[in-house]
Structure 1
Amino acid sequence: MRTFRALYATLPVFTVTVLLGLLGPVRSLGSGTANLPSEPHLSPAASYLSRLAVQGGAPEAAMLTHRDSPVPHDDYRSTGPGIARDDHFRAGSATKTFVATVVLQLVCEGRLQLSESVDRYLPGLVRGNGNDGRRITLRSLLTHTSGLYDYTADTSARPLSPGAAVRAALSHRPASSPGSYAYSNTNYVLLGLVVRRVTGHDYATEIRRRVLIPLRLTGTSFPGARTGLPEPHGRGYSRDPADGTLRDVTAFDPRPAGAAGELISTLTDLSRFYAALLGGRLLPPGMLATLLDTAPTHGVYAMGIYPQRLSCGVTVWGHNGHIAGSYVRTAATRDGHHVLTFRVNTDTLSDASLEPALLTAEFCPPEEHPGRQARQRPVRQHPTR
């Protein structure tokens, strides 16, 4: 299965080298025994938290589950004191779901059209090296079928603005033919510029007004040039490929991520957002169906959100986020009534099979699916930026 680089892993070599050089090595936090709550009826999904530490090589992990029925219930679990329910952390590409939601709200208002070209809204911006914004639609940006080169793959670039990120992408020929699925952060940087063009406000302002405030997501923010995290927060670590030690990367410049991945959030806020989105609180039914349409990518990706079919036949919807010092994943049932968000405070899981196994344990419990397969089927690896 194809694996995808983390956004942090594709930041310019200069940026990564300086960051690690200034911070220096820290004690390897290893994979000791996880300190899960001692309860007689620990859920199968919660038991995977210790595996994220032991098998996945994460310092610590946390998980929040929410069910609306039969009685609304939240369940929080963690592996140790260094990671907490209310911590703020970098959510990486979960940002894309927020951006896609606002774009489709603007479509509902008649201010954008999915079939219109990028060039209509950003005249002349996407040109050169075989790239032509006149042949790229907003729909293709949302579904990663534009063919545009992913600017984060260019390790010689250090884009600190959306314009610089686009220029870095356009210095390369298209990465794929238009219409074929190829995940590219450039698509969502362009969508952020489109939102600014039609509203007069940057994407962060529009997301705050349209999503964060109505849903009371008080733990979610867009840092801009701020290098730190809001309080409370724990530490974020990245494993040095040279010697395996973990280095503290809690503070860094998030501007290269932009509309593709700069979001800071909490377990509670991410769970609440995806529940509200899938539950129809942010988009009318027809537009929500458009958001979830995977036809352009043959089932791989929708618009800022993707499905994953589990071995028991259940399909969950959500997104992951993979950025310096943080990996997070939210998955939910189609109606948003059952949501799982888990995170680890490092950007690398050494065992990729843990994630689908954890989702299967949560959404396919034996008592609900007695005939389900004992093992999770192989699944397509999704972007982790």
Structure 2
Amino acid sequence: MRRPRTPRTLLAIPVSLALFAVAQTGLPGRAPAAARTPVTPAVRAALARLVTRGGAPAAALLADDGSGPRFAVTGNGIGRSDHFRAGSITKSFIATVVLQLAAEHRLSLSDSVEDHLPGLVRGAGNDGRRITLRALLQHTSGLYDFTSTTRGAVPVTPLQALRIALAHPPSTRGRYAYSNTGYVLLGMVIEQVTGHSYATEAERRIITPLRLTGTSFPGDRVSLPEPHGRAYAADGSDVTGLDPRVAGAAGELVSTLADLNRFYAALLGGGLLPSHWLREMLGTRAAHGSYGLGLYPVKLPCGTTVWGHNGRISGSYVRSAATVDGRRVLTFRVNTDGVTDPTLEPALLAAEFCPRTP
């Protein structure tokens, strides 16, 4: 749910290391994996450091480069097929639905919020007539992030989240400033345009066609689907049961490693959006290179740029990244809010996506 930034300090728990790989059918259009497809030693070591140096109770990843999925886990308490809270990865799903509606000419990214939700965004200098849907998607609306007040711990309705935000003056419009409020509004716009909730539209347009059988929008359901492990807050408390309304359209999603890989591979591979709209999604100029429309790029030390999103919600941190063509994809997760060492995530991405010297 939180913005794309380095995770904060979290619980450290000594654990034993267990790494393994198992076979699984690949992403759409790919051949089944070989009986056992191991991760590379560099990736295995980078994953282990999330526990040994990063303080996560357990970490797991699933990667695919076309040769078959490769799974690894370190620590105890995470399984390959576990369901977990995906936090702000929800934004990639919401943005995809909005762009599909734009491709269908049911809305325009240059529409104002006022065009779809008249009179709703007013107060403390905020004005929905001056905020476009593109600005919501790209976090350049200036709207206050309601989770800065709730800390992602208080269940709220969309209108309650908006009231919290509208009690604060906007930041500079046109400047990138990550705000969960914008995606709550986009969820409301989807419902206004289609007559259905954002969850229903995402299920119809993305989850069902891609056969993402482990992915759902739980609404107000506090429990996770089986199977699942435990989730721990920074202070070590068990937060496996969580009301998803702390995040709503900005971070409600529950998913699995395999489903997130399948989604990003399909999205970046052109399976969900026409080419013009996929190019729009990857445009970062308005956010000065920081963010596209529900995705953001990271340039690795070797020069490779990967696209995807992270998700942080109480008890869970997850990161999905893929090459721009979607042919190579990785998702990793830890069963707490993040890791203590900010260098570990980029090191893991580089271990997977940067060319290896023989």
TM-score between the two structures when normalised by the length of structure 1: 0.84
Partner residue, 1:270? 260
**Is 2:164 aligned against 1:168?**
yes
**Residue-by-residue CA offset, 1:232-255 (whole Å, 9 max, x unaligned):** 000000122xxxxx1110001111
Q: Select which of 57, 60, 63 maps to 1:62.
A: 60
Aligned amino acid, residue 280 of structure 1: G
Q: Determine whether 1:307 maps to 2:297.
A: yes
Query: Within 5 Å, which residues of 2 pair with 1:360-371?
Result: 360-367=350-357
Equivalent residue for 1:34?
17
Find the counterpart in structure 1 of residue 326 from structure 2.
336
- Structure 1 position 114, deviation (Å): 0.5
- For residue 45 of structure 2, what is the amino acid of its counterpart? S
Partner of 2:27: none
1:352 aligns with 2:342: yes
d(CA) in 1 for partners of 2:221, 2:155 = 16
> Could you tell me which residue of structure 1 aligns to residue 224 of structure 2?
229
Report the CA distance shift for 1:5/1:203 in structure 2 as closer, same or farther (over 3 A). farther
Partner of 2:288: 298
2:55–2:340 CA contact under 8 A, matched in 1 = yes
Q: Which residue does 1:25 correspond to in 2?
A: none
| 1:196-235 paired onto structure 2 within 5 Å | 196-235=191-230
Residue 45 (structure 1) shift: 1.2
How many residues are paired up?
A: 339
Partner SS, residue 154 of structure 1: helix
- How do 1:61-140 and structure 2 match up within 5 A? 61-68=59-66, 72-140=67-135
For the aligned residue pairs, the C-alpha RMSD in angstroms reads 2.2
Residue 81 of structure 1: how far off its partner (Å): 4.4
Shift of 1:40: 9.5
Residues in 1 aligned to 2:238 and 2:38: alpha-carbon distance in whole angstroms: 35
- Secondary structure at the aligned position of 1:239 is classed as coil
- Inter-partner Cα distance in structure 2 for 1:231 and 1:127: 42
Overall identity of the aligned pairs, in %: 61
What's the secondary structure of 1:361's corresponding residue?
A: helix
* Gaps in structure 2 of 5+ consecutive residues: 22-36
- Structure 1 partner of 2:43: 45
Matched, 1:154 2:149: yes
Q: Residue 57 of structure 2 aligns to a residue in which SS?
A: coil
User: Residue type matched to 1:78 in 2?
Assistant: V
Cα 1:271–1:3 shift into 2, 3 Å: closer
* Cα distance, 1:5–1:357 mapped onto 2, change above 3 Å: closer
What are structure 1's unaligned runs of at least 5 residues? 10-27, 241-245, 371-385
Q: Is the 8 A contact 1:55 1:351 kept in 2?
A: yes
The alpha carbon displacement at 1:161 in A equals 0.7
Classify 1:206/1:183 alpha carbon distance in 2 versus 1 (closer, same or farther; 3 Å): same
